[in-house]
Amino acid sequence: MSSDRLPALGHDFRQPELLRQALTHRSFGAEHNERLEFIGDSVLNCAIALCLYRRFPQIPEGDLSRVRANLVNKETLHRLALSLDLGKSVRLGEGELKSGGASRPSILADTLEALFGAILLDAGFDAAQEAVVRVYEPELDCLDPNELAKDPKTRLQELLQGKHLPVPEYAIVNVKGEAHLQTFEVVCRIPALGIEATGAGASRRSAEQAAAAVAYEQAAHG
């Protein structure tokens, strides 16, 4: 990595120390990225809000808020950070590095937000917004606001209600990994339809949503 550029972001830092700080976890040193993450969180929310407002002029405020929430949550940030291979650039303390910090979802998500904050301080909001849109382009290009406005659990529940069936049952069936890097496996059961769908995620909630998405497809098209 160049000292003043992270290629995937498409931004040349005038103040390379901001890039270094954004990539520095608190385990590495005192000049870490948590304050930049605080700024980056707000930048990200505003940039995505503007993008959605302009792309989807007919979508009401409530649905825009739900779509934005799906785009800026930690799971999406983690996925995008992986696509940028940020784990290779994050500066971690020795203990954090040995315990798998370079692949930890929370660290990668926070680092990406810190980078957006660093770009704002380095070159202003327009530059930060351009970086956000560039990173989010794959998500935005395939965005279906009608699908994202409601999360999978909500869509599944509404589908079952339309069929006059009870709400689904969710249960954890497996937990893998160390305490700081766990993967939850959840089953979504709909006894009336004979459906048992499984999903996995970094939290119980995300695993339930993944299982609900599978169950929805089976219930809607089975």
CA dihedral for 150, 208, 46, 55, sign (positive or negative) = negative
Neighbours of 60 (CB within 10 A): 9
Integer Rg of the chain from CA: 20
Q: What are phi and psi of 35, to 5 degrees?
A: -70, -35
Model pLDDT for residues 64-112, shown as the tens digit of each residue: 888 898 899 998 999 999 999 999 999 999 999 888 888 899 999 999 9
- Paired tokens of 92: 């971690």
141 noted as active-site residue: no
Given the residues 37, 96, 110, 113, the one annotated as active site:
113
* Amino acid, res. 90: V
**Collapsed DSSP state (helix, strand, coil) of residue 29:** coil
Known active-site residue 41: yes
How far apart (Å, rounded) are the C-alpha atoms in residues 131 and 122?
12
Tens digit of each residue's pLDDT (9 = 90 or more) over 128-176: 999 999 999 988 888 776 665 678 898 899 999 999 999 999 999 999 9
Q: Does domain 152-221 have CATH number 3.30.160.20?
A: yes
The fold for domain 5-148 equals Ribonuclease iii, N-terminal Endonuclease Domain; Chain A (1.10.1520)
Q: What is the DSSP string of 134-173?
A: HHHHHHHHT--HHHHTS-HHHHHHHHHHHTT-PPPEEEEE
Q: Which of 4, 12, 41, 130 is catalytic?
A: 41
Domain ranges of the chain: 5-148, 152-221
